Amino acid sequence: MLRRLFKINVSCLPALQLQAAVQRKLGNWDESIKACEHILDINREACYAYSSMARTRLKQKKNQLGLELAMQGMSIDSSDAYSMATLALACHINNLPAKRDALLKALQAKGDSSALHYRQRALDIIEQKESL
């Protein structure tokens, strides 16, 4: 389906976001990063792209780089739930529990379904119920 979408519009942001996540799940790190870079070529302030790259780098065990990218995503939009959850994961992996817990608490306080979903997913990864 993504291939068909890209034939129509190679710059479709939702498709690029999905492409980044799917490639990360498949372990195709370079393809995941390329999709994020394509998003950033379209919009340098796309916090999702930085956060998605952060998750890919964390999955690669490039923990410091993952933390830096997560922080970059948050610097663009500190209220974005995906970016907050990504930074919480990066803080967990980089042994920054106080910052992790503050971010998880902030996600809980947002109260909307999107924030609660990202918070729960982050908790599931932290508790090793799910993989990054």
Assess if residue 114 is contained within a domain.
yes
| Distances 12 to 4, 16, 24 between C-alpha atoms, Å | 11, 6, 18
Residue bearing tokens 């990202």: 118
Note down the domain range covering 117. 2-126
Assess if residue 17 is contained within a domain.
yes
Assess if residue 77 is contained within a domain.
yes
Assess if residue 132 is contained within a domain.
no
Task: Round to whole Å and give the CA distance between 108 and 46.
Answer: 23
What is the number of residues in the chain?
Answer: 132
Would you write out the chain's pLDDT as a tens digit for each of its 132 residues?
556 655 555 667 888 999 999 999 999 999 999 999 999 999 999 999 999 999 999 999 999 999 999 999 999 999 999 999 999 999 999 999 999 999 999 999 999 999 999 999 999 999 999 988
> For the chain, how many structural domains are there in total?
1
Residue 57's CATH number: 1.25.40.10
Assess if residue 131 is contained within a domain.
no
Element (H, E) at 99: helix 97-110
Strands (E), 46-106: none
Assess if residue 120 is contained within a domain.
yes
Phi-psi region of 62 (alpha: psi -120 to 50; beta: other; left: phi over 0): beta
Assess if residue 101 is contained within a domain.
yes
Assess if residue 51 is contained within a domain.
yes
Nearest partner of 80 among 110, 122, 38, judged by Cα? 110
Note the pLDDT of residue 87.
Answer: 98
